[in-house]
Structure 1
Amino acid sequence: MTAIRRRLEAATLPVAALSTLALLTLLFYYPVGRVLSEAILREGRLTLEPLRSVLADPFFFGVLAQAAEDPSVLWTAIEPHRIGPITYPFPNYKLGLFGFTAYQALLSTIASIALGLPGAYVLARFEFPGRKTIRSLTAVPFVMPSIMVAIGFIATFGRNGVLNTALTAVGLPRIELLYTLPIIVLAHAFYDAPLIARVTATAWESVDAGTAETARSLGASPRRAFVDVVFPQLLPAILTGALLTFIFSFMSFAIVLALGGLRLATVEVWVYHRVNQLDYGGASTLVTLEMLFSLVLTYAYLQYEARQRAESAARPAPRKPLFGPLNTDRVAVWAYVAVALVVFVTPMASMLLASVTGPNGFTLANYEFLVSRQLSAEAFQIKPLTAISNSLLYGAGSLAIAVPMGVLLAVVSTRDVPGSKLIDTLSMAPFAVSGVVVGLGLLQGLVFGTTVFGYRFTVTGAVAVVAAHAVGAYPFVTRNVAPLLATIDRSVVESARTLGASRFRVLLDIELPQVFAGVVAGAAFAFAISIGEFDSTVILASGSSAYTMPVAIERFIGRRLGPATAMGCVLLVVTAASFLVIDRLGEGRGM
């Protein structure tokens, strides 16, 4: 009996890993493959014609598509432009849908770097109360619902938003920013600048102070020492953050949908439009091209990060106190703090303010509207309580799938076994594939149904939503657990194996207790991500009662801003409370 038990325990981990990969195939690779097949199969035959037609269409690829037919457009489209007394030639190129998507992503990346680098400098070089808390808050964009950011910017910069209210109060004209490119770029910077700050601050803190001091001792000015010694060591981190920001902005959906609409549509927004028009083949072709582009960028990022990974310096530069006599550094820092407060705090504060104000001042009418909508007998209307309960239910379901899956993939990725590198790479693919692609694949493959061995299998929209959320959440569990597993003393593990413990028993009794804090952190991220997921949910919940709080916000935006901001505040409270509850459950349990 003991021998059988040992064999079962020895087989448990490999079987669990294979089951996890099978589940990942069902929930991710099959739906994504279904999308790819829709793009390259017509009437059961393999064809590249749909891809070629998109590549050759100026609507999608602008001047590049035109140049394929007539290369002369590359120079005949150059026209004279004038700035003051200077006239210069400048290409007047039409970018097309993909070109515009890349263009806004580039501008968003530049804005994120401009806003994030000073923040990295403050975090790395100054000491002040709450510095660690603020540094921790740079992870917030990973869990903050993008649709909530959008509603915050509408409440701030909309026609009757906080900014225009303040301008009209002092007799100045309104500024129309909604449905313009600058507001999209600014919203992306709000979302991605903390990522730039976090990555760069970590690199800045690892710069050995001795290198700059040596340069100074050889006669270099502070500016020259920074440019020649410090900046080259920061550049890999800046480029890493910039590449990630570009990928995130290129695949951005909710922010562009809410702040730009079809007027400033990116690839993701246009795909959503085609899905609403029931053009699934056209949508599949577009997301296939987008996915190939994002996979190339993600691969480049992973390769670059692997080459540039550096060890921590033995002696980082000491931090300077932020509070003290004003000098050039402190004046610049406080100016940046003022800008940061406006950019990062105003949108959320505006959303809160807009939810409790009306034409006559303070009011709870927006929250009363949510209550009345819940009590309404009209079945087709969005019910706020249904949205909240759905979000919590989907979050719990996502946890039930994402946590075991993420932990097992973390275990496999940290083991020196054949195929572990490949499995690790395959398991991180959801980072490079947008929620719109996953949602479209699940809609076509599982919700519409698929035939296997003569039987047709279908799932409900709610089940598909949980699957999409779990796919988007489990990589965060893996990335929180894997580094902790890698630091466990292997001699303890080997000693337990020598004493007869199976690999599964060692994992259960020795390793998991030591990484429990990472498991809880990953679970908190996974739950918060599920609560705020919009991209896949808005596709899978279309025309059903499977909608969530982010989808409810998007539906309200098109009708009345007040209820949308009230729903946004409810989402903010539920997200924060959920994150805190899960975090508290793991308090004191980690090693």
Structure 2
Amino acid sequence: MASEGASRRATGLTRRGYQWVRERSLPIAALVAGMVLLVVFYFPVAVVFLEGVVVDGLPSLAPLREVLTDPFYVGVLADVFARPTATGEHLDSLLRWAATGFARPSLGLIGFTAYQAVLSTVASVAIGLPGAYILARYEFRGRRLLRSLTILPFVLPGIMVAIGFFAMFSTNGPLNALLGVFGVAPVEMLFTLEIIVLAHAFYNAPLVARLATAAWEGVDARTVETARSLGASRRRAFFDVLAPQLAPAVLAGTVLTFVFTFRTFPIVLALGGLEMATIEVWIFSRIQQLDLTTAAALAIVETVISIGVLALYLRFESRQYGAGQAPTQIDREPLLPSFRALFRPSRVAISVYGVFVAVLFIGPMVSMIAESLTGPNGLTLSHYAFLFDRQSGGTAFQIKPWPAVRNSLLFAGATLAIALPTGIVVAVRRVRGDRGGVLLDVLATAPLAVSGIVLGIGLLRGLVFGLPLPGGWRLQVTGGVAIVAAHAAATYPFVVRNVAPAIGRVDLSLVESARALGASRVRAMVDVELPLAVAGIVAGAAFAVAISIGEFNSTVILAEGGDYYTMPVAVERYLGDRTLGPATAMGTVLLAVTSASFVVIDRVGGGRGDRL
């Protein structure tokens, strides 16, 4: 009898324990997600930051002071940071500068990074907004496909885009060949600020266009119609009614573009080199020189600036969420209702814009593919044969193509297995406003403010070298596991930003009904919320896979051993040896793999990945 009573008590405890876990499974899942982020993101980043504020085992701001008072890094602001209380002298210097007609001051490395980011942002918005206008206001054959393709450049690997621009704008590239037909001298654009700005616009103009298009399609048409019925002109209705509804999306795209171009690395590394170095490129250079203290100090400055700008992004993003989905939309008009419409000024302007966009967005990719198939004597497959020769064990190059392709796919699959569930849990907690939602919002955004180079250094210094544990144990993460950890930290914010809007569109009463019928919170999420949010989940998965395949910043730090090279690293190695043909061949393979992995976003996901 005693043993039977003990057995019943044990069974009761087990049931209560199971019930306790069942009722709290979502908070437990959020805690696990937080622990994953702590290990793969926050701890490595903290390791880097400590390098910049700890000297000889003691806290010190000397590394930061050295950076902020060095004209090489901050230009004319060096004296301001060195003597912040000398306001009178600084004011006199400002007046003397004004007297010289505001001559261009010395910007320094940090100032130049911000300057090129501003130029790149202006170019991206200027190119992206007309595209958003066309996609939102006009109906034409292929509009949906074109709208789907607007996000594809954003997920293409940066090193591959650099290869495309290198092939198109080189001295012997298609652009100069075309100019030669018209008797125009060759234009030298490589290793200039202009080519960097154009390459950044290639990336971010489609992002601006997609965000603005989604906002434009969500505008309540009745507000515009009411303004027109009250006598407002088309222009007045645009600026007074339409523009305020579009502003949050446009500003969010603008701010996000600045952050991405401020933290630029592969584009500048390939097209600008150290002559056009940004903070990210110089951090990489300092690491190669084993100057980790300066690299850490620069990383802290870069991250602080990025976080400050991202705070604006979160503000604009929250206004987008608050706007909701409009019940009616502005009707689209046919782009070409008749042949005579071809000669209307607006249609001529659209045609000119279309030609420019085709040159900017299609030209580099076509040039890369054409370069991979061209040799001194015309069409050839020798560059692809070169890759196969390396695969069979040639000694001239240590990088073999198939292991790079295999590694990229394996790392992408492992990244998806970590980033997708982590992103889903964070998105559900964030949208449903559960306890800790504000903290999770910060967790979901922080990786966007930290560069892959910094994360790669942190993983290298922390987990790859090993972390001592009590009892003589040592936590060590090396090789492909470290690369997957870096990719997961970089990609999960994009999962959150695709899943969260989809979760937000699910009717909460359906979840409450499931709970009322006895379903646990997790069961309601799995059986009700996630199936209804599958479009956003698939979009987030596609982002995670595509970005992982193209991730270069952290991978180039962690994949120093040839066994862990990925396709982007292989492309950069071929290009570094000035072998443009094999680099373009490997870039073409990378383009095919990345595009194939991302095509599911609109075919399976229903085209709902409008937010980032």
Under a length normalisation based on structure 2, what TM-score does the superposition of the two structures give? 0.89
297, 301, 316: which is aligned to 1:304?
316
Query: Does 2:93 align with 1:105?
Result: no
The change in CA–CA distance for 1:239 and 1:541 in structure 2 (over 3 A counts) is: same
* Higher deviation after alignment, 525-534 or 432-441: 432-441
Contact 2:148 2:602 in 1 (8 A): no
Q: Which aligned pairs between 1:251-266 and structure 2 lie closer than 5 A?
A: 251-266=263-278
Contact 1:67 1:74 in 2 (8 A): no
Contact 1:6 1:502 in 2 (8 A): no
The change in CA–CA distance for 1:226 and 1:125 in structure 2 (over 3 A counts) is: same
* Higher deviation after alignment, 575-584 or 139-148: 575-584
Q: What amino acid sits opposite 2:308 in the alignment? A: V
The aligned counterpart of 2:592 is: 573
Deviations 1:400-422 (A, max 9, x none): 21112112222222333321221
Deviations 1:230-261 (A, max 9, x none): 33443333222211111111011111111101
Q: Which aligned pairs between 1:421-500 and structure 2 lie closer than 5 A?
A: 421-453=438-470, 454-500=472-518
Deviations 1:152-206 (A, max 9, x none): 1011101221112333455432111000000000111111111121222233334
Q: What amino acid sits opposite 1:539 in the alignment? A: I
Query: Does 2:335 align with 1:322?
Result: yes
Q: CA deviation at 1:557?
A: 1.1
* Runs of at least 5 residues in structure 1 that lack an aligned partner in the other structure: 81-88
The aligned counterpart of 1:115 is: 127
The aligned counterpart of 2:6 is: none
SS in structure 1 of the partner of residue 563 of structure 2: coil
* Higher deviation after alignment, 534-543 or 484-493: 484-493
Task: Give the number of equivalent residue pairs.
Answer: 579
SS in structure 2 of the partner of residue 174 of structure 1: coil
The aligned counterpart of 1:522 is: 540
The aligned counterpart of 1:18 is: 31
Under a length normalisation based on structure 1, what TM-score does the superposition of the two structures give? 0.92
Structure 2: how far apart are the matches of 1:263 and 1:534?
A: 21
Q: What amino acid sits opposite 2:382 in the alignment? A: A
The aligned counterpart of 1:536 is: 554
- Over the residues paired in the alignment, what is the CA RMSD in angstroms? 2.3
Contact 2:447 2:493 in 1 (8 A): yes
Contact 2:498 2:536 in 1 (8 A): yes
Structure 2: how far apart are the matches of 1:499 and 1:186?
A: 57
Contact 2:399 2:562 in 1 (8 A): no
The change in CA–CA distance for 1:215 and 1:385 in structure 2 (over 3 A counts) is: same
The aligned counterpart of 2:59 is: 46
The aligned counterpart of 1:74 is: 94
Contact 1:208 1:316 in 2 (8 A): yes
The aligned counterpart of 1:550 is: 568
Contact 1:412 1:424 in 2 (8 A): no
Q: CA deviation at 1:135?
A: 1.3
Structure 2: how far apart are the matches of 1:413 and 1:371?
A: 48
Q: CA deviation at 1:346?
A: 0.6
SS in structure 1 of the partner of residue 590 of structure 2: helix
Structure 2: how far apart are the matches of 1:506 and 1:220?
A: 49
* Higher deviation after alignment, 370-379 or 403-412: 370-379
The aligned counterpart of 2:430 is: 413
* Higher deviation after alignment, 3-12 or 571-580: 3-12
The change in CA–CA distance for 1:409 and 1:176 in structure 2 (over 3 A counts) is: same
The aligned counterpart of 1:132 is: 144
Structure 2: how far apart are the matches of 1:412 and 1:265?
A: 40
SS in structure 2 of the partner of residue 545 of structure 1: helix
Contact 1:98 1:266 in 2 (8 A): yes
372, 375, 389: which is aligned to 1:358?
375
29, 41, 46: which is aligned to 2:42?
29
Query: Does 2:70 align with 1:57?
Result: yes
* Higher deviation after alignment, 424-433 or 486-495: 486-495
Contact 1:524 1:582 in 2 (8 A): yes
Q: What amino acid sits opposite 2:94 in the alignment? A: L
Structure 1: how far apart are the matches of 2:274 and 2:173?
A: 22
Structure 1: how far apart are the matches of 2:605 and 2:244?
A: 40
Q: CA deviation at 1:577?
A: 2.2
SS in structure 1 of the partner of residue 178 of structure 2: helix
Contact 2:154 2:204 in 1 (8 A): no
The aligned counterpart of 1:83 is: none
The change in CA–CA distance for 1:374 and 1:522 in structure 2 (over 3 A counts) is: same
Structure 1: how far apart are the matches of 2:114 and 2:141?
A: 40
Structure 1: how far apart are the matches of 2:296 and 2:457?
A: 8
Contact 1:209 1:316 in 2 (8 A): yes
Q: CA deviation at 1:426?
A: 1.6
The change in CA–CA distance for 1:220 and 1:510 in structure 2 (over 3 A counts) is: closer
Q: What amino acid sits opposite 1:546 in the alignment? A: Y
SS in structure 1 of the partner of residue 433 of structure 2: coil
Identity %: 55
Q: Which aligned pairs between 1:118-517 and structure 2 lie closer than 5 A?
A: 118-213=130-225, 216=228, 221-307=233-319, 309-323=322-336, 324=338, 325-326=341-342, 327-378=344-395, 381-453=398-470, 454-517=472-535
Q: What amino acid sits opposite 1:226 in the alignment? A: F
The change in CA–CA distance for 1:540 and 1:488 in structure 2 (over 3 A counts) is: same
Q: What amino acid sits opposite 1:304 in the alignment? A: F
